[in-house]
Amino acid sequence: MSNMRRLTLMGIEQGRLVGDADVSLEKLQDAMVRHAQEHGPRANGAKATLKLQVELVYRSETDTVDIVSKLELKLPARPATKTMGLPDVDDDRRGQILVARGGSRKDHPEQQVLTKDDGSPLE
């Protein structure tokens, strides 16, 4: 057993686990920065996580231990938004909700941007 050594993270998958974790960490950082830039103050409290799980499973029939590893990357989700709608009834007497053609203003989701038929904003 002279070619054996004590288990470390570098010994799992001949060091590939550590390399994969580093790549995932880069993705995590990039996703968080892009999320914050895209959503601004609405991104407050957003979380991105990288989980490393290592499980040791003893096999009595062979007197060995399986080393099972898993990386789980969870990127920040799109923040919830709110759009104002108006209840209405269509010509067939079915209920519907009407929303402004331009949607909500990015800087304040409760303030509607009303538009003309061509999509240009009303002043």
Domain borders along the chain are: 9-74, 81-123
26 pLDDT above the threshold of 70: yes
With CA atoms as reference, report the closest residue to 41 among 106, 85, 113, 119.
Answer: 106
Q: Which residue has the higher pLDDT, 66 or 107?
A: 66
Confidence of residue 87 (pLDDT cuts 50, 70, 90): confident
User: Is pLDDT above 60 for 106?
Assistant: no
CB atoms within 10 A of CB 17: 19
Is 97 in contact with 76 (CB distance < 8 Å)? no
Mean pLDDT computed over 52-57: 96
Residue-averaged pLDDT of the chain: 85
Binning pLDDT at 50, 70 and 90, where does residue 105 land?
A: low
Report d(CA 33, CA 26) in Å as an integer.
11
